[in-house]
């Protein structure tokens, strides 16, 4: 078999920016940013926008989004579409 055919699989911390939760797992992803974990070791950390800790499907909490502004912008943009 070829040597060095696969990427390094190492411990890494993922930080959910939406909920603030951090979890230690193993991954092939890498980062220059590091954090000291609860066990005293230093691990690379990757910031993620959303994870199972903050996603509405897993938490059961729905976030309300303002869609009125989006509809108004859409209607304003395409109000003359198809007219001659």
pLDDT tens digits, the chain, 84 residues: what are they?
688 888 889 999 999 988 888 999 999 999 999 999 999 999 999 998 888 777 666 666 666 666 667 778 888 888 888 776
Task: Output the six-digit token pair for 63.
Answer: 């976030």
**What span, in angstroms and rounded, lies between the C-alpha atoms of 67 and 84?**
30
Q: 43 by DSSP, 3-state: which?
A: strand
57: left (phi over 0), alpha (psi -120 to 50) or beta: alpha
**What span, in angstroms and rounded, lies between the C-alpha atoms of 64 and 59?**
14
């Amino acid at each position: 078999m070829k040597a060095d055919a696969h990427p390094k699989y190492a411990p890494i911390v993922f930080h959910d920016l939406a909920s603030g939760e951090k979890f230690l797992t193993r991954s092939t992803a890498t980062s220059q940013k590091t954090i000291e974990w609860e066990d005293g070791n230093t691990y690379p950390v990757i910031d993620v926008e959303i994870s199972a800790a903050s996603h509405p499907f897993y938490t059961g909490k729905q976030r309300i989004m303002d869609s009125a502004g989006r509809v108004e912008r859409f209607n304003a943009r395409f109000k003359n579409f198809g007219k001659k």
